[in-house]
């Protein structure tokens, strides 16, 4: 069973270790479990019963593992479901974007208000345990932001680190509002 770890723990501030290649069965199972956790967390009844918050993304250090793994389960224009091991950013757009309602995180108990600017478009290469192969994800908009939030976790970065301390709702010219 998965237990969520919070931002007062050192592991949330660490750069995580790469997983050995070829990918082990243990790593595959753990990242698939993370994906399953997200799916269940979005089931209102299940979440209420187990007293868990709904999430769309989860990184391995959020469940106490020092491994470069992350999961996404998100319904936007369509369903996106990933269980990624050793993800690498191949390219990102200069075009910036932000979520107008701000970001949240399962490891941050109280939401921190403010805009988090990220690339509008991102290309990520990773082993995906769901498809059981190395894939390339070309993401835009909400999915791209979600991926960047999780990728940050693998380097010990939290979303509020990216909010301007003095002007949290600062507007950046040409940044796309999502
Ligand atoms: Zn998070």
> Which DSSP category does 24 fall into?
P
Average pLDDT per consecutive 10 residues, the chain (178 residues; last block may be shorter): 95 98 98 98 96 96 98 94 98 98 97 97 98 98 98 98 97 94
Q: Is 141 left (phi over 0), alpha (psi -120 to 50) or beta?
A: left
Q: Which residues are tagged catalytic?
A: 150
Compute, in angstroms, the gap from residue 30 CA to the centroid of ligand 1: 18
CA of 64 to the centre of ligand 1 (A): 13
Q: How far, in Å, is the centroid of ligand 1 from the Cα of 133?
A: 25
- What confidence score (pLDDT) does residue 78 get? 93
Whole-number pLDDT of residue 89: 98
Residue 4, pLDDT score? 97
pLDDT value at position 76? 83
Pair type for strands 176-177 and 96-98: parallel
Q: What domains can be seen in the chain, in order of their start residue?
A: 10-177 (3.90.45.10)
pLDDT of amino acid 41: 97
| pLDDT for the residue numbered 6 | 98
Ligand 1 midpoint to CA 54 (Å)? 12
Q: Is the pTM of this model over 0.85?
A: yes
Cβ contacts of residue 100 below 8 Å, gap of 6+?
115, 177, 178
């Amino acid at each position: 069973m998965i237990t969520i770890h919070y931002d007062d723990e050192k592991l949330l501030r660490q750069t995580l270790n790469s997983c050995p290649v070829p990918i082990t069965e243990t790593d595959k199972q753990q990242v698939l479990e993370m994906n399953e956790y997200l799916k269940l967390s979005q089931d209102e009844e299940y979440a209420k019963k187990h007293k868990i918050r709904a999430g769309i993304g989860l990184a391995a250090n959020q469940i106490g593992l020092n491994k470069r793994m992350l999961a996404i389960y998100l319904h936007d224009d369509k369903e996106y479901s990933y269980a990624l091991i050793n993800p690498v950013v191949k390219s990102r757009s200069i075009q910036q974007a932000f979520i107008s309602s701000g970001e949240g995180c399962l490891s941050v108990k109280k939401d921190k208000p403010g805009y988090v600017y990220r690339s509008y478009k991102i290309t990520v290469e990773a082993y995906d345990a769901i498809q059981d192969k190395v894939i390339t994800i070309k993401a835009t908009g909400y999915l791209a932001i979600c991926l960047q939030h999780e990728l940050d976790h693998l380097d010990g970065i939290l979303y509020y680190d990216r909010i301007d301390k003095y002007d949290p709702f600062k507007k950046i010219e040409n940044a796309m509002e999502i």
